[in-house]
Structure 1
Amino acid sequence: MTARRRIPTYFSHSYRAEDRDASEFFWRKLESHGFGFTVDPQSGALSTCHLEMVMRRSACFVAVIPLRPSEQTYRCSPFMVHEYGLAVRARKPRLVFAEKGISRRHFLDVDEVHVFDRDELASYGDDFEQSFHRLLLESQAYSAAADQLRGEVGLALPNNPAYREIRPVIIALLERYGYAVAEAPWHLRDPADIAFRLDRFEFVVVDVASRAVPAWFYPTLVGRFIPTLDLIHETDSGTKTSIPPLVAGGALRAAAAQDDLVLRWHDADDLVVRLDQQLSGFDLPRQQFRSLEEGVGYIRSIGRTAGTIFLSTARSDAALAGELGRALKLLNFSFFHYVYNNTIPLGQQWQQRLESLVTASRVFVPLVSESYWHSEWCRQELTTAQRLSADGQLTIVPYFLDDSQGEVIAEQGVDIADLGIADRVARIVADMDRLFLGA
């Protein structure tokens, strides 16, 4: 039997830890109906062009929008209002779950907006079934929206000395990333010809402030939802050119730093570097969640600070270490374990590499048992961790599996000797989550 293909969904959600429960609740609903969503690797500054490309390649749009009382105008994240606007422009089937208290006026179609109470999520049951079914019917025909070959990029740049100099370099850079390059079709006069040519472009590189670009051109790109990589060439006047209103609406201006809204350039070398950074961001692989567990793991990792856990265990405690390693992986923790998550390359000096891994870790978690004290490797790992802890470079959180006596561990630990494996794993994972959230 052929597996049902998941619907590629642009899932707009909060990146704050306190909103994880709401995001997870609706992700579980989405997953059970055959929707899937993707996450883009973090790649530095905001790229509005990349957001537009991701929206264009999605079959539908779902947003879970928490209340933000501090945002007086929007009462929610202005960036999520911007993402909703992208979905409207792209004419994607939409479904919005907005927390009570949010300003409705920013969401245009009242029939696609549903209000939720974060304290009553468990009571909703099948309340949203009809909406999910409608979205599925509207979007399942577009499940292959992301299946595209690398296509063509349009250039809408003025024919002045600055751009004549940089144009061949821009073309070479785009071609190096696998794109074909064509000039913008503003010389055409038939609207159908213009639309046909524009729709073939993956995105258009355009100077949004140049008077040499016809006044109708950028509005046409916006109207047909052609992604744009927006440039502004600054002259030697020292005064920044203003960004046209159509390039960045109020929500985006409220959500992003002004320098991220367009790519301003004066020096050709600087432009090439920054263009390369944007294109390399487009090129990073997007992760499609293939299971409920992968999606939940991603959501539960939201809001955590960076860092690696070094899991130090004796061989006889392999059953617990295996279950703990599996739980840490599902919840997107970065960790090392010599059996269940061993990142030491074949052929490298084990002892030297092991010490460097302890040094590079943020948290050292020893599972202390009678066997732990009998293991030379475990004792060496602990000695290294204690030296780093004394220098303030690492946190030690020991868990005691029995009442065995060995070396003194000064750090406050947790006695989990009376718990079963599942409860031990749950306690350790919950502690790590609080630690990496800074709670």
Structure 2
Amino acid sequence: MSAGRRIPTYFSHSYRREDRDVNEYFWRTFDAHGFGFTVDPRSGPPSTCHLEMTMRRSACFVAVVPLRRGQPRYKCSPFTVYEHGLAVLARKPRLVFAERGVPAHLFPDAAERFVFDREELDTYDGFDEPIRRLALQSQGYSAAGDRLLGEAGLALPDTPAYQEVRPQLVRTLEKFGYAVREVTLDLSNPGTLPHQLERFDFVVVDVRSPELPPSLYPLLFGLFVPRLNLAHFEGADPPVDGLPDLVVGEPLRHATESQDPVLWWRDPAELIGELERHLERFALPRQQFRSLAEGIGYIRSIGRADGKIFLSTAGTDTELSSQVGRALKLQNFDFFHYLHNNTIPRGSNWQERLDQQLTVSQVFVPLVSAAYWRSEWCRRELVTARRLSDEKRLTIIPYFLDSSVGETFSEQGVDMTDFGEDERVAQIVRDLDAWFTSARS
């Protein structure tokens, strides 16, 4: 490992504001030993395939498990229990720091498990040694995420529904850069199948099809090959009891409640739209803390009021909007940007979907420059934002990047003409943090 390189670490943590100080204590401790925590900021329903891919590309796993007295049975986050199970399946070196009162049987390996009391964190001096051991175990895997985009496998039945949608599935996967290969399901030589499966970045599989070998999904599960789970159904609604236990285990059922980690589909267009949403998430850079300050900024963001930001920028301001978008993701903001965080399915009516994104946003952030005024789309977004602002449904916070003259803003904004790029990003994030924090109180 080079001197400046951090150990990419899957960090399972609480998203509750009351646990922020606990998270910060452990991040400061791990930062001092050269770890870089990879996080999955909350942004819509979880993608279990994305979590599996992130785990696969991490060198190790660290969980900080605060006590939740009111949580039945688990007394902690069921999602952390689920993520720990992923780490076990992936055979990753791991450490678990559990608060007093968390059930020991959820994390049965005593050698990897340590207990803390949040009221006495500043008195602990025994955590450094296991963290140093984890660093030694993990350093050889620090390049686990240094991979080119690879292959996606298709393990789908030869039914009329899949015959119809298969060409669209292949085109969509190829559009995102994946080579697409059919999974060869000839079991006459069973030893060849694991070797074939392990080469895939992930496998697209129908989890309910009786036409697929019943041993296929357990094999994918045991090899820890990420699975993008599909389930075709007929009729008005998906069946309520149609998923194998391996697909939705008990911790995940408790963590996600009614959200199945499966793309249920009957209409090809809906399936392709959902597939693109997942693939766009796969394509995002890993959200790894690059510095102590960046990690602390993310951790302190936990517990803000819920709400969405609409980031409005012109195409020539791509570099700034990219840096702002990355900072917003790392600090757990929910936001829309047409380029850096676009959740609009391809093929949708663009203007209609933009208006929908604005309607569900609480804050509109235009980065105003000469290019902004030249952009027809930016001006359209501003018109809709002003209407929503007049209706008291949206707050506009403008940032002026240059001295160009356009329409007059009645809203108080920030003149950033003389700011450097880092200063601009930091100011925008500070302002939005203050707005959502005050909105919660």
TM-score of the superposed pair, with normalisation by structure 2: 0.73
Partner of 1:143: 142
Partner of 2:75: 75
Tell me how large the CA RMSD over aligned residues is: 3.5
C-alpha separation in 1, matches of 2:257 and 2:434: 33
Q: Tell me: CA distance 1:140–1:160, structure 2 relative to 1, closer, same or farther (3 Å).
A: same
- Larger-gyration structure (1/2): 1
Partner of 2:91: 91
* Match for residue 343 of structure 1 among 346, 355, 367: 367
Q: 1:298-337, aligned counterparts within 5 Å?
A: 298-305=298-305, 306=307, 332=331
Counterpart of 2:440, as a letter, is: G
Please tell me whether residue 438 in structure 1 is matched to residue 440 in structure 2.
yes
Q: Tell me: CA distance 1:284–1:134, structure 2 relative to 1, closer, same or farther (3 Å).
A: same
CA-CA distance at 1:432 after TM superposition: 3.6
Partner of 1:132: 131
CA-CA distance at 1:284 after TM superposition: 1.8
Q: Tell me: CA distance 1:278–1:342, structure 2 relative to 1, closer, same or farther (3 Å).
A: closer
- Where does structure 2 lack aligned partners over 5 or more consecutive residues? 310-326, 334-364, 399-407, 414-426
C-alpha separation in 2, matches of 1:333 and 1:278: 18
Partner of 1:9: 9
C-alpha separation in 1, matches of 2:332 and 2:66: 25
In the alignment of these two chains, the number of paired residues is 357
CA-CA distance at 1:238 after TM superposition: 5.5
C-alpha separation in 2, matches of 1:307 and 1:89: 35
Partner of 2:250: 250
Q: Tell me: CA distance 1:208–1:434, structure 2 relative to 1, closer, same or farther (3 Å).
A: closer
CA-CA distance at 1:171 after TM superposition: 0.8
CA-CA distance at 1:436 after TM superposition: 3.6
* Alignment check: 8 A CA contact 2:203 2:227 kept: yes
Partner of 1:36: 36
Partner of 2:346: none
C-alpha separation in 2, matches of 1:21 and 1:82: 23
C-alpha separation in 1, matches of 2:331 and 2:78: 27
Partner of 1:157: 156
Please tell me whether residue 206 in structure 1 is matched to residue 230 in structure 2.
no
TM-score of the superposed pair, with normalisation by structure 1: 0.73
C-alpha separation in 1, matches of 2:273 and 2:110: 44
CA-CA distance at 1:348 after TM superposition: 5.2
* Alignment check: 8 A CA contact 2:397 2:411 kept: no
The residue matched to 1:204 in structure 2 has which SS?
A: strand
Counterpart of 2:76, as a letter, is: C
Bigger mean CA deviation after superposition, 1-10 or 228-237: 1-10
* Alignment check: 8 A CA contact 2:366 2:397 kept: no
Partner of 2:45: 45
C-alpha separation in 1, matches of 2:77 and 2:100: 14
* Alignment check: 8 A CA contact 1:45 1:260 kept: no
Partner of 1:196: 195
Counterpart of 1:198, as a letter, is: L
CA-CA distance at 1:4 after TM superposition: 2.9
* Alignment check: 8 A CA contact 1:46 1:260 kept: no
Q: Tell me: CA distance 1:246–1:345, structure 2 relative to 1, closer, same or farther (3 Å).
A: same
Please tell me whether residue 116 in structure 1 is matched to residue 140 in structure 2.
no
The residue matched to 2:81 in structure 1 has which SS?
A: helix
CA deviation digits over 1:294-348, x for unaligned, max 9? Answer: 000010011112478xxxxxxxxxxxxxxxxxxx99x9599xxxxxx99322455
CA deviation digits over 1:112-156, x for unaligned, max 9? Answer: 1111111111111x3101110110111110000111011111111
C-alpha separation in 1, matches of 2:331 and 2:10: 21
* Alignment check: 8 A CA contact 2:248 2:260 kept: no
Q: Tell me: CA distance 1:332–1:249, structure 2 relative to 1, closer, same or farther (3 Å).
A: closer
Counterpart of 1:122, as a letter, is: D
CA-CA distance at 1:165 after TM superposition: 0.9
Please tell me whether residue 186 in structure 1 is matched to residue 173 in structure 2.
no
* Alignment check: 8 A CA contact 1:62 1:95 kept: yes
Bigger mean CA deviation after superposition, 52-61 or 240-249: 240-249
Counterpart of 1:133, as a letter, is: R
Counterpart of 1:171, as a letter, is: V
The residue matched to 1:258 in structure 2 has which SS?
A: coil
* Alignment check: 8 A CA contact 1:9 1:59 kept: yes
CA-CA distance at 1:86 after TM superposition: 0.4
C-alpha separation in 2, matches of 1:155 and 1:348: 43
CA deviation digits over 1:81-126, x for unaligned, max 9? Answer: 00000000000001000111011111121111111111111111x3
CA-CA distance at 1:168 after TM superposition: 1.1
CA-CA distance at 1:263 after TM superposition: 1.0
Counterpart of 2:57, as a letter, is: R
CA-CA distance at 1:70 after TM superposition: 1.4
CA-CA distance at 1:195 after TM superposition: 1.4
